[in-house]
Amino acid sequence: MTPHGPSPAPGPGAPDSRPDPGQGPGPARPGDAAPAPGPAAASPAAPEAAPEAPAAAPAAAPAAASGRAASPAAAVRVPAAVLSAAGTRGRAGDARPAPSGPAPGAPAPGSTAPRGPARSRLSRPRLTRALRTPYLWCALAVAVLMAGVIGHLVWGGDLGMHAATIERLRASLTHPGNPMVDEDTPSPYYSPWTVLLALLARATGLGTFAVLRVGAAVSTVLLLTGVWRFTRALTPARWAPPLVLAASLLLWGYRLFSWSGFLPLESWILCAAYPSTAAWGMTLHLWAGMPDSARRGWPLRRALPAGLGLAVILLVHQFTGVITVVGAAAFLLAGSRTTRSRGWLALCGGAALGAAVLLVWPYYSLFDLLSGASGESATHAALYRHMISHYGLALLGVPALWARFRRDRRDALVWLFAVCAAVFAVGGLTGHAEFGRILPGAMFAAQAALGVAVAERWPGAPRVLRLVVSPLALLALLCGAVVQGGTAVSDAVRGNASLALSHGLPGTSVVDGYGWITPYVRPGQVVMTDDYFAERRVPAYGAYLVYCPYPDPYQKDFAARARDKAAFFRPGASPAARTALLRRYHVDWVIAQAGDAPLGRDWTPVARGTAGAVLYRVPPGA
């Protein structure tokens, strides 16, 4: 395009080629025909004024429209691609005349080249770049491994409780009641995630366990894509995402460890279908969008979805939700330099929206849950035992956090680690072991910092960190792969035999569940049992328990039910005392475990299950 403003003066000894206002044609106007090339066009004194290509006319039009005279030098400033396509001289000493018309196949003057072929040519490099991305292949390997595990659907931990939650919601979305015992109470397990799965089950007719497999697959995708987006928000380093993924799965300890809401590979295998896994995936996506939102000054269209997403995560899994809140606050601190008053007002609006969602959620009140006594300290005491063997490898991330803190005192990973580690320490010192559920936030911050540092080769850090910590980190990842990877592959390939062994349940099915009772026990009936597996699996098939082993702040008679269960199975308990307990809880069936005292002559076994469990129908009149 012709530049606006006067043409530069000719240099010394160069002829003044500016047009005389009194003679010769003036600047071209829109619509004027281009002048035919004259003899001067081939003059050796003006080699650049060769016969004008048709594409030069549009280039001169803006200058003419602006009312300024265009110099001949400016009039022939044609892009190199056009000169090449038109056959213009491009090499010194080439005296061949350029053709007067457009080259064969070149677009006509003023026309637009078709864009379809260009798109198809661009798609190939994009596909090639995608296939060369290391994270793609790492994520595919993890996805294939998890596909085998999801097919088995490990029957360990809390799977029965989550299946029972979907069973109750399938039966009634408006009044599901307690998922484990026959009481009309709220329950924190009725979250947006389980409601969504129950709606899927009701709409498609899929069984509860099929829906849980769908949820496990979606959670896996959320986690894998969340790690990618979160890491790319921190650094463009090519190898950072696969290193962060490997660190978050393997960099824990030298002993197998699994707990809901924690991210070691063994824990992911056990908890793939749990809401905590989905909550972690949503958390990473929420954090990944915060740095870019901060750079944009937190417009309202970004702040409102962030507040809504934070509320949903808190409802899906409360422990992970607390970590999400801490991480969100850390990212807000990191981006506070670019956030103005309007952005803070938008964030307040997002927080108000999230609080409103928490207030109107119909199945339970999060605020009542947080303010009440949880009664779970004894359950979580195991989180404070064997800490070196369970979490020791992640200590290699502390030097990476220190290096990040040296560069930026507001670094989000540093503050996420510091706050979560401090809360974990307070829980251990004060006896509130449930505070230990915040530890995954500190672990992930250290693991992510180490993965990014190794990928970036420790920018701005002492050279000793690159020479010492990076090799140690790779050795630690190898150790984690040996400890957890072998078990994970065995679980995915061998199924039940490996799962039963790795979870300390030899001779017990951790895949088949408790389906042997379904020909007899109907949904809605009540079962009295002291069998460990029955207490965790029977509700998955629609039946209720007299005593649920999971502490529930909304279940006020939790302790009384525990005492009544023990009294029923106590050796020497009178038939009258047992009958009173059966009538109090409207019991239909009893499952006794091997070693229990005989129930009496009127009790006839109906079926026998795994690990010596025996199913009895309650006799008439009992």
How many C-beta atoms lie closer than 10 Å to residue 612's C-beta? 13
Average pLDDT over residues 462-471: 90
How many C-beta atoms lie closer than 10 Å to residue 385's C-beta? 9
pLDDT exceeds 90 at position 31 = no
pLDDT exceeds 90 at position 45 = no
Give tens-digit pLDDT for 414-436: 999 999 999 999 999 999 999 99
Question: How sure is the predictor about 495, in pLDDT bands with cuts at 50, 70 and 90?
Answer: low
pLDDT exceeds 70 at position 539 = yes
Task: Say whether 616 sits in a helix, a strand or coil.
Answer: strand
Which of the listed ranges 104-118, 200-214, 550-564 does the model predict with the highest average pLDDT? Answer: 200-214
Assign residue 9 a region (left: φ > 0; alpha: ψ between -120 and 50; beta: otherwise). beta
Average pLDDT over residues 270-276: 92
Which of the listed ranges 523-532, 595-604, 613-622 does the model predict with the highest average pLDDT? Answer: 523-532
Q: Which of 37-46, 102-111, 230-239, 579-588 has the lowest mean pLDDT?
A: 37-46
Q: Above pLDDT 70, what percent of the chain?
A: 74
Question: How sure is the predictor about 607, in pLDDT bands with cuts at 50, 70 and 90?
Answer: very high
Q: Report residue 136 as tokens.
A: 């793609």
Higher pLDDT, 126 or 18: 126
Q: Report residue 305 as tokens.
A: 């979805």
Write down the pLDDT at residue 151: 83
Write down the pLDDT at residue 572: 86
SS3 content of the chain, % helix, strand, coil (to 5): 60, 5, 40
Q: Which of 110-119, 390-399, 517-526, 600-609 has the lowest mean pLDDT?
A: 110-119
Which of the listed ranges 5-19, 229-243, 261-275, 479-493 does the model predict with the highest average pLDDT? Answer: 229-243
User: What are the boundaries of each domain within the chain?
Assistant: 50-86, 148-499, 515-617
pLDDT exceeds 60 at position 277 = yes
Higher pLDDT, 478 or 81: 478
Q: Which of 39-43, 319-323, 370-374, 447-451 has the lowest mean pLDDT?
A: 39-43
Higher pLDDT, 459 or 622: 459
Q: Which of 34-48, 128-142, 358-372, 595-609 has the lowest mean pLDDT?
A: 34-48
pLDDT exceeds 80 at position 203 = yes
pLDDT exceeds 60 at position 85 = no
pLDDT exceeds 50 at position 87 = no
Q: Which of 95-109, 239-253, 306-320, 340-354 has the lowest mean pLDDT?
A: 95-109
CA torsion 16-19-22-25 (nearest 10°) is: 150
How many C-beta atoms lie closer than 10 Å to residue 331's C-beta? 24
Question: How sure is the predictor about 155, in pLDDT bands with cuts at 50, 70 and 90?
Answer: confident
Average pLDDT over residues 101-113: 47
Rg over CA atoms, the chain:
36
pLDDT exceeds 50 at position 16 = no
Task: Say whether 545 sits in a helix, a strand or coil.
Answer: strand
Higher pLDDT, 349 or 380: 349
CA–CA dist 176, 165 (Å, integer): 8
CA–CA dist 241, 232 (Å, integer): 7
pLDDT exceeds 80 at position 200 = yes
Question: How sure is the predictor about 302, in pLDDT bands with cuts at 50, 70 and 90?
Answer: very high
Question: How sure is the predictor about 508, in pLDDT bands with cuts at 50, 70 and 90?
Answer: very low
> What global pTM score does this model have?
0.77
Higher pLDDT, 291 or 77: 291
pLDDT exceeds 90 at position 27 = no
pLDDT exceeds 60 at position 3 = no
Higher pLDDT, 197 or 549: 197
Q: Half-sphere exposure of 532 toward its Cβ, with a 13 Å CA cutoff?
A: 10
Average pLDDT over residues 402-419: 96
* Residue pointed to by tokens 């207490």: 535
**Do residues 58 and 70 lie in contact, with contact meaning Cβ atoms separated by under 8 Å?**
no
pLDDT exceeds 50 at position 598 = yes
**Do residues 482 and 437 lie in contact, with contact meaning Cβ atoms separated by under 8 Å?**
no
Give tens-digit pLDDT for 317-341: 999 999 999 999 999 999 998 889 9
Average pLDDT over residues 555-577: 91
pLDDT exceeds 70 at position 185 = yes
Write down the pLDDT at residue 25: 44
Write down the pLDDT at residue 127: 64
Question: How sure is the predictor about 91, in pLDDT bands with cuts at 50, 70 and 90?
Answer: very low
Write down the pLDDT at residue 124: 64
Q: Is the sign of the CA dihedral 147, 149, 153, 156 positive or negative?
A: negative
Q: Report residue 386 as tokens.
A: 């064997």
Write down the pLDDT at residue 383: 93
CA–CA dist 46, 324 (Å, integer): 71
**Do residues 75 and 52 lie in contact, with contact meaning Cβ atoms separated by under 8 Å?**
yes
Mean pLDDT for the chain overall: 80
CA–CA dist 174, 345 (Å, integer): 36
In 3D space, the residue among 163, 154, 165, 153 whose CA is nearest the CA of residue 552 turns out to be: 165
Higher pLDDT, 411 or 113: 411
**Do residues 241 and 228 lie in contact, with contact meaning Cβ atoms separated by under 8 Å?**
yes
Q: Which of 152-166, 201-215, 288-302, 306-320 has the lowest mean pLDDT?
A: 152-166
Write down the pLDDT at residue 597: 80
The edge-to-edge listing of strands for the beta sheet with 589-592 is 544-545, 526-529, 589-592, 614-617, 605-608
- Give, in order, the Cα–Cα distances in Å from 508 to each of 495, 499, 503, 548: 12, 10, 10, 21
How many C-beta atoms lie closer than 10 Å to residue 397's C-beta? 28
Average pLDDT over residues 502-523: 68
Question: How sure is the predictor about 595, in pLDDT bands with cuts at 50, 70 and 90?
Answer: confident
CA–CA dist 283, 184 (Å, integer): 32
pLDDT exceeds 80 at position 78 = no
String of DSSP letters for 159-208 = HHHHHHHHHHHHH-SS----SSBS-----TT--HHHHHHHHHHHHH---H
* Residue pointed to by tokens 């809140």: 325
Write down the pLDDT at residue 610: 77
108-115, long-range: CB within 8 Å, 24+ apart, which pairs? Answer: 109/54, 109/55, 109/57, 109/58, 110/58
Question: How sure is the predictor about 111, in pLDDT bands with cuts at 50, 70 and 90?
Answer: very low
